Structures are given as C-alpha cells and as structure tokens.
Amino acid sequence: MDLKLSARELAWQRRARDFAETWLFPHEVELEHEGRLPSSLLRRQRSAVVKAGLNGVNHAVEHGGQGCTLLEQTLINEQLGKATGALWAVVWHPADPLKHGTKAQIRDYLIPSCQGRRRGSFAITESGAGSDPRMVKTRADLKRGKYRLSGEKWFVTSGDCSDYLIVHAHVDGDPDKPTLFLVDKNLPGVRIKRVPKFMHTYVYEHPEFVFDRVELDAGKVLGGVGQGFELTKDWFVEARLQIAANCVGAAARAAEVANDYAAGRVQFDRPIRDFQAVEFMIADMAVEIMAAKSMVYRVAAEIDAGLDRKLVHARASAVKLYASEMAGRVVDKALQILGGRGYMRENPVERLYRDVRVDRIWEGTSEIQRAVIGGQIKKRGLAIYTGWM
Ligand SMILES: Cc1cc2nc3c(=O)[nH]c(=O)nc-3n(C[C@H](O)[C@H](O)[C@H](O)COP(=O)(O)OP(=O)(O)OC[C@H]3O[C@@H](n4cnc5c(N)ncnc54)[C@H](O)[C@@H]3O)c2cc1C
C-alpha cells in the first residue's frame, strides 16, 4: 500500500496553501470586523484564483476546469479550509450537475463558471423542505412549451454574488418529477426576499429567493425532467468530501494555534502544556485529526480508483459525518486551551468554533448521514465500513 502523495498532489497542496496564505488569511480579521469584504478586493481575489489555476478544480479541462482528481481536490480544500469566515468560498466550485448539461448549457454556464466569468448557487431548501426535499413546493408548470417557475428558496449560499441559480423544483407540482432548472437571476420574477444573518461570518450571504412565475424555456432544464435527485445525489459525494476536507484543515489550524499557545503560556511557573490536562487535550486533538485525514484521503483515493458507485455514497456519508463532528470536538478543545483568548473574535480559533458548526448541518445533517450509514449497513453488511475492500 503506497500512502505517499505524488509530486503532482504535493504541488496542488502547495499551490492552495500559498493561495490561502496570500489571499485569504490576511483578510480574515477585516471580514470579521466589517462583516463583508470590499467588492474591489473580492474582484481581485477572483482574478487571483484564476491566476493561481485554482478555478474549476472539480471540472474537466475541456470544460475550462483543472481536471483535478478527488484526492487533489481534497488536498486543496484542506488547505483552503484553514481560512476563517468561510473564505475558502472565494475559490468557487461550479456545481457538479452542470457537467450533465447540454452542449449549450456547458457553453453558457459550465465553461464561463469554471473560468470565473459566471457564478452559480444551488437552491433546494425551502421553509418546509430541508432534510426531506420531497417536501419542496417550488413548481415549474409546463404550458405551451414554456415552464413557469414559482416558489421560494431558503439558505441560498453565495446567492448574492451568483448570477444564476440551479433551482430544484417539481414539474407540474408532481413530486415524482423533481427537476433542476438553470435560472438567471436577472429574469423577471426572480428576487431576493431576505438576507438573514447566521452564526458564522461568511464571506458572502445566504439569501432567500422568491420566484414569481419566472418564464423558462425547455433549454433551462438541467439533465432531464425527473432527474433532480439523481444529479444532486452525485454532487453530494463531491460536496461531502469537500466539507470533510475543509473540516480537517480547520481542525488542524485550531490545533496548531492551541499547541503553540500551550508551549508559550506560563501559569503556575510552567508552560501550560506541562499540565497533563492540557497535554492530553493536545494528544486527543492530534489523534482525531490523524484519523479523519486518513479517512478522507482514503475515500477520495478509492473513488479516483473507481470504487463501486454504491459504496461511494456510503463512504462519503461516513467521511462527512466523522470529519465534521471531529472538527467540532477539536476546535472546542483548542478554544479551551486558549482560555479567554480563545473566546476573542480576533482569535482564529473563536471564528473556527462558529464556522465548523454548520458542517454538521448542511449537505445533510449528522442525523441524515447516520441514517444513510445505518441503511447501508442493513443492506450491505457492516463490513462495507469495518472491512477493507
Ligand atoms: C449556512 C447554511 C447554508 C446553506 N446553504 C444551502 C444552499 O446553498 N442550498 C440549499 O439548498 N440549502 C442550503 N442549506 C440548507 C441545509 O442543507 C439544510 O439546513 C439542511 O439540509 C437541514 O435542513 P433543515 O434546516 O430544514 O432541518 P430539518 O430537516 O428540519 O431538520 C431539523 C432536525 O431534525 C433532524 N431530522 C430531520 N429528519 C430526520 C430523520 N429522518 N432522522 C433523524 N433526524 C432527522 C435533523 O437532523 C435536524 O437535527 C444551508 C443551510 C445553512 C444553515
């Protein structure tokens, strides 16, 4: 078993680390204090992403992306995930389902998104539809060859800076026809209803959108009528691995800050790391990060190597569940080691504490991941997790 990273993988890791150090970390405190970054800076960051070749890492070269493997993406996302304020979102990932688009959709949406000329957001969740997207009320009624889209979507991440949305709706209100639509934000009938504030400071916003009889032609259906869940399910694998990698990065940064602090902070005439209570916390943090990292790298590499599709979903849920819960535990310990300083917003650990909480909620809550894992065990046996295959 060769566990060494290749020269190419190490180069991607380095590139992402350099980008985070140059373009993300220096702006964290400003973002935290001001609540947003100036638009001129966001534009410069976008150009820097392209210059660094980190645009569209999750898409094929012929679609304007970088053609990175999942393991390479994991290494990149881990480095970016160290940034607070979700500044990792500055490096956009065009949604995976776009690759299933028609030639025209790839030309008009995917390629410009990979190149940084367009940006999209994913809109599934509604006030009555969260973990159970079958409850979606947004509908697209087909009349004389045109769809009319009506409904409301919640928590549309980066919806403020996107110029189009991928909207999950039921054709003719039929839950058996869950379908994705490409909706340009400047169309009549599309508007932002509210921009709520959240626990984390996020570099963009998560607005709520209203669609009031938005007229769409058939060319805006992505991947076919009734294909909504299939396309989203595939995308969840990538998104869950991305979250897991971000979480490993966030936990590693918190642990580094706490470890350095514990070495320098003197109380009762000795560095606090010499108290076993503190040393044990550092030990637990290190082991947890090691375990999560091993899992995320392993699953990414297995998927790259052609893992059976059924196992891909099963494993992606396990990775997301473990890494997100691990990050919560590790960042909490790091904050404890920092004492009162860990509670200050100017400290990255305080920000990470708030940042990683959502990782147990979005892209499927921890309970939903456990339900997926439990269901997979019932169907395929415990060995798909506990064995080595
Ligand atoms: C900051 C943020 C950004 C987001 N960005 C996006 C986005 O860009 N696009 C988008 O579409 N959505 C987005 N979401 C929505 C997110 O995916 C949902 O919040 C998530 O899927 C959970 O749905 P819910 O909040 O409605 O909770 P609910 O589904 O109402 O769940 C509430 C509680 O019940 C539990 N529960 C529900 N069903 C079960 C079950 N079967 N078994 C056990 N427990 C269960 C849940 O685990 C949870 O603890 C975002 C959310 C947040 C907070």
Whether 286 and 373 map to the same domain: the answer is yes
Residue 225: pLDDT band (50, 70, 90) is very high
Query: pLDDT tens digit string along 194-222?
Result: 999 999 999 999 999 999 999 999 999 99
Average pLDDT over residues 328-343: 98
CA–centroid distance, 41 to ligand 1, in Å, is 32
Structural domain count, the chain? 3
Residue in 126, 136, 155, 325 to alter for ligand 1 test, most ligand atoms within 8 A of Cβ: 155
Residue 1: count other Cβ atoms within 10 Å of its Cβ: 3
CATH number at residue 347: 1.20.140.10
Give CA separation, 191 vs 87, 186, 208, 218, 286, in Å.
25, 8, 9, 21, 46
Whether residue 371 sits in one domain with residue 257: yes
DSSP 195: -
Is residue 362 in contact with ligand 1, taking CB distance under 6 Å? yes
- What CA–CA distance (Å, rounded) separates 377 from 116? 41
Per-residue model confidence as pLDDT tens digits over 368-389: 999 999 999 999 999 999 998 7
Distance between Cα 300 and ligand 1 center (Å): 25
Span 81-100, average pLDDT: 97
Query: Looking at residue 389, what is its pLDDT?
Result: 75
The mean pLDDT value for 260-277 works out to: 98
Average pLDDT, the chain: 97
Q: How confident is the model at residue 234 (pLDDT cuts 50, 70, 90)?
A: confident
Alpha carbon distance 262, 256 (integer Å): 10
CB of 124 within 6 A of ligand 1: the answer is yes
CA of 133 to the centre of ligand 1 (A): 10
Q: Are residues 373 and 273 in the same domain?
A: yes
Q: Is the pLDDT of residue 356 over 90?
A: yes
d(CA 43, CA 214): 29
For residue 153, the CA-to-ligand 1 centroid distance in Å is 13
Residues 17 and 106 in one domain: yes
| Residue 2 belongs to some domain of the structure | no
The Cβ of residue 266 has, within 10 Å, a number of other Cβ atoms equal to 10
Looking at residue 54, its pLDDT comes to 98
My answer on whether 98 and 132 are in the same domain is: no
Residue 155 alpha carbon to ligand 1 centre in Å: 10
- CB-count exposure of residue 326 (10 Å: 0-12, 13-18, 19+): buried
pLDDT of res. 310? 85
**Same-domain status, 235 and 381:** yes
* Whether residue 184 sits in one domain with residue 79: no
Say if ligand 1 is within 6 A of residue 155 CB.
yes
Q: Which domain holds residue 208?
A: 120-225
Question: Which of 74, 98, 115 marks a domain boundary?
Answer: 115
Looking at 115, 149, 183, which one is the last position of a domain?
Answer: 115
In this structure, the answer to whether residues 178 and 220 fall within a common structural domain is yes
